[in-house]
Amino acid sequence: VSAFSTWEKELHKMVFDPRYLLLNPEERKQIFEQFVKTRVREEYKEKKNKLLLAKEEFKKLLEESKLSPRTTFKEFAEKHGRDQRFRLVQKKKDQEHFFNQFILILKKRDKENRIRLRKMR
């Protein structure tokens, strides 16, 4: 039974199950609705966890790539586009967003290091 389906669409799958007749008609529909709501919540949690895992793997890839603050997303994508961790984040927009966040952090670190070096001189 699909979590995003309706009672009418799924009824034909349940009618021949012997457990179906154990409940009265109101209870059947009520239990179905409860099941669907629960299943929807579970699917959203699974999807969210999958996205978080994909984001973490993508960040690991960024860290391992030894990027410079001047690296562009296009260069990064050409070099690492075949990596499984790159493909885990399915939307190109999200990939580019995570990449840009990482590059901003690199630029800040680079700027801080240059300021420190100037102070030391």
Domain containing 89 equals 7-120
Q: Considering the domain boundaries, does residue 82 fall inside one?
A: yes
Q: Considering the domain boundaries, does residue 2 fall inside one?
A: no
CATH number at residue 93: 1.10.10.440
pLDDT digits (tens, 9 = 90+) for 5-47: 888 888 888 888 888 888 888 888 899 999 999 999 999 999 9
**3-state secondary structure string across the chain:** CCCCCCHHHHHHHHCCCHHHHHCCHHHHHHHHHHHHHHHHHHHHHHHHHHHHHHHHHHHHHHHHCCCCCCCCHHHHHHHHCCCHHHHHCCCHHHHHHHHHHHHHHHHHHHHHHHHHHHHHC
Q: Considering the domain boundaries, does residue 97 fall inside one?
A: yes
Total number of domains in the chain? 1
Q: Considering the domain boundaries, does residue 92 fall inside one?
A: yes
Q: Is the pTM of this model over 0.85?
A: no
